[in-house]
């Protein structure tokens, strides 16, 4: 008996990153190996100036005056980034929205409980989101791709509807910088580490092929996402054997017939993630072409946190559109804690 796989179609996409504020800009600048790393206004606990990747503030919308908003750079950045990304979308009706946000770290303040109200005020009267069906999830890097699973379940129940998924994050967060700095994980003057960054992006998804975004004679199909949980994650005493990412990639590849020609990740370059990455790909090598190209977006954008998954999808989708060939791309990423996620994109010809 043949199993029919339900796949989604990409109807629209948006992105804001330090190296590009549209999907095409992000893709083109990534192909040019562009970076936008700067010495930031943040310092480590040893007084070293931290290297960051930042979105040009002049490119972001103004922040509305709101006495209830937390007085922090972090929430100001999230609201501005989300606003700019949402304004790129072509919308006719407000849609349900699932949003990946900053990972919840041990002993760190929880995400603001009134964030939904803050974002709604920032967007004012713009009819983009159905606020009765808006939820945010503190999943970090793996969140954007992981939410594809919830989006598919929502669309399967409501096949005539469309849905938004997104991701926003910024490391311009004093508490988080202090926490990560104490673990010597951040790049600063004279010290190695990852480059903290920021970004936002959204995808409008549909089950209806006729509603899909069309370019160069094709549409982008998003196959069912693969999810995994790593018991040996960065904040666990157990060893990381790469089983969570291996499982996520295996499930993402399960419905794919053509071999993967390109793989994309947004891992931030720390040694533990490189080891996990290599072992997961090796265990799934039977569905990955021997000459497959491997791309790491974070080398150019810095660590986008919860915006990583959406940035991967927009950049990879733009590349599929530009090449105009029926190929299979594998996208995957991992949070600092247990969550792992992966998905396969394909270009489906309209002829």
Query: Is pLDDT above 70 for 286?
Result: yes
Same domain, yes or no: 83 and 231: no
Residue 37 within a domain: yes
Query: Is pLDDT above 70 for 38?
Result: yes
Same domain, yes or no: 285 and 232: yes
More confident residue, 182 or 4: 182
Same domain, yes or no: 196 and 250: no
Residue 226 within a domain: yes
Query: Is pLDDT above 80 for 16?
Result: yes
Same domain, yes or no: 200 and 247: no
Strand spans (E) along 123-246: 129-137, 163-170, 198-206, 218-222, 226-229
pLDDT for 239: 87
Range 80-90 burial, b when 16+ CB lie within 10 A, else e: bbbbbbbebbe
Model's pTM, two decimal places? 0.96
Residue 171 within a domain: yes
The radius of gyration computed from the CA coordinates of the chain, to the nearest angstrom, equals 19
Same domain, yes or no: 163 and 231: no
Token pair 């992105």 is found at: 15
Same domain, yes or no: 195 and 58: yes
Same domain, yes or no: 157 and 201: yes
Query: Is pLDDT above 60 for 164?
Result: yes
Same domain, yes or no: 310 and 237: yes
Backbone angles phi, psi at 9, to 5 degrees: -115, 145
Q: How far apart are CA 40 and CA 339, in angstroms?
A: 29
Strands 129-137 and 95-100: parallel
Query: Is pLDDT above 70 for 4?
Result: no
Final residue of a structural domain among 177, 210, 243: 210
Average pLDDT estimate for 24-28:
97
Strands 95-100 and 49-53: unpaired
At 269, the pLDDT band (50, 70, 90 cuts) reads confident
Q: How far apart are CA 135 and CA 143, in angstroms?
A: 12
Give 221-288 as a DSSP string.
EEPPPEEEE-TT-TTSSS---SHHHHHHHHHHHTT--SPEEEEEE-----HHHHHHHHHHHHHTGGGE
Residue range(s) defining the domain that contains residue 227: 221-349
**Which CATH number characterizes residue 203's domain?**
3.40.47.10
What's the domain count of the chain? 2
Residue 315 within a domain: yes
Query: Is pLDDT above 80 for 2?
Result: no
Same domain, yes or no: 183 and 235: no
Please give the span between the terminal C-alpha atoms of the chain, in angstroms, as a whole number: 28
Same domain, yes or no: 25 and 93: yes
Same domain, yes or no: 52 and 110: yes
């Amino acid at each position: 008996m043949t199993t029919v796989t339900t796949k989604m179609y990409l109807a629209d996409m948006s992105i804001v990153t330090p190296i590009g504020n549209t999907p095409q800009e992000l893709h083109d600048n990534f192909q040019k190996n562009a970076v936008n790393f700067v010495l930031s206004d943040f310092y480590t606990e040893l007084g070293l100036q931290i290297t960051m990747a930042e979105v040009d503030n002049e490119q972001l919308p103004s922040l509305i005056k709101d006495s209830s908003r937390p007085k922090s750079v972090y929430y100001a950045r999230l609201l501005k980034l989300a606003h700019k990304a949402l304004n790129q979308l072509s919308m006719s009706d407000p849609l349900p929205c699932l949003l990946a946000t900053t990972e919840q770290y041990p002993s760190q303040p929880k995400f603001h409980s009134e964030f939904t109200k803050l974002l709604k005020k920032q967007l004012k009267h713009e009819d983009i989101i159905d606020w009765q069906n808006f939820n945010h999830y503190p999943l970090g890097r793996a969140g954007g791709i992981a939410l594809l699973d919830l989006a598919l379940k929502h669309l399967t129940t409501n096949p005539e509807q469309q849905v938004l998924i997104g991701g926003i994050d910024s490391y311009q967060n004093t508490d988080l910088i202090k926490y990560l700095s104490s673990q010597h994980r951040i790049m600063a003057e004279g010290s190695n580490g990852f480059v903290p960054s920021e970004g936002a992006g959204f995808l409008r998804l549909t089950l209806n092929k006729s509603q899909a975004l069309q370019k160069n004679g094709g549409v982008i199909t998003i196959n069912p996402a693969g999810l995994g949980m790593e018991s040996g994650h960065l904040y666990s005493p157990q060893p990381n054997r790469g089983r969570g990412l291996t499982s996520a990639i295996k499930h993402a590849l399960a419905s794919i017939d053509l071999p993967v020609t390109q793989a994309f990740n947004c891992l931030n370059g720390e040694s533990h993630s490189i080891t996990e990455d290599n072992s997961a790909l090796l265990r799934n090598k039977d569905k990955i072409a021997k000459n497959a190209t491997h791309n790491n977006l974070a080398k150019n954008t810095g660590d986008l946190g919860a915006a990583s998954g959406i940035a991967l999808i927009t950049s990879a989708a733009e590349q599929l559109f530009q090449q105009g060939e029926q190929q299979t791309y594998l996208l995957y990423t991992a949070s600092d804690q247990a969550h792992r996620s992966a998905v396969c994109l394909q270009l489906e010809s309209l002829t």
